Amino acid sequence: MFALQGDVREHAHVLEALGAQTRPVRRATDLAGLDGIVLPGGESSVMDRLARIVGLKEPLAAALRAGLPAYGTCAGLIMLARRIQNPAPDQGTLEVLDVTVRRNAFGAQAASFEADLHVPAVSADPVHAVFIRAPAVLALGEAGGDGADVEVLASVPASGLSVDPAGLGLDAGARLPVAVRQGHVLATSFHPEVTGDWSFHRAFLAGL
């Protein structure tokens, strides 16, 4: 568990209830022997800054590039993404998931919402999702590319964005990915650790 900031306890509870052993990752030395890592929801700019301060960011990025499986939720999705469309000052990422994301895409805390998503890759039943200051994936791959190896698992209407989709170059009827997978990296805009629907955690553990 990436444990410098965010919903660490909630994710640990889910993973342990599903039979996994967890431990906090706060330094580069904590990466040794991991089968996979979860990057929780929280504040992505703070997570990035703290990871740089303690010397964890580059070793973690290197481990991910070398194949360490990862699951990022909300801020964790932002941390994993290659590009942020509206970063905080000096904010960077781990640059391992080939998508462009927008922070707080659906609005502030007061604009939080819930939705039932059709995600056949992880569950035959609808997945209940809670979006809290959630990011959205605006594009797959590099500018002008198609992100062919990024699999979209779930999406929501772009009309739910807190800004006019046209201002982002999107059609009002477009759908935006909120759950994606690229190789060994899984990420969601929402917080399954707080809903009781553990489909994504099960899918992540099954891939380890």
Catalytic residue among 13, 95, 191, 201: 191
Catalytic residue among 74, 128, 151, 184: 74
Judged on CB neighbours under 10 Å (0-12, 13-18, 19+), 12 is buried
Distance of CA 134 to the CA centre of its chain: 10
Gap between the Cα atoms of 88 and 78, Å rounded: 12
CB atoms within 10 A of CB 96: 23
Gap between the Cα atoms of 143 and 56, Å rounded: 29
Is 184 among the catalytic positions?
A: no
Is 191 among the catalytic positions?
A: yes
Gap between the Cα atoms of 100 and 81, Å rounded: 6
Is 13 among the catalytic positions?
A: no
List the binding residues.
42-44, 103, 132-133
Catalytic residue among 114, 118, 193, 201: 193
Gap between the Cα atoms of 130 and 190, Å rounded: 5
Gap between the Cα atoms of 148 and 92, Å rounded: 24
34 φ/ψ sector (left φ>0, alpha ψ -120 to 50, else beta)? beta
Residue at 60: amino acid letter: L
Angle between helices 8-17 and 199-206 (to 10 degrees): 70
List the binding residues for L-glutamine.
42-44, 103, 132-133
Known catalytic residues are 74, 191, 193
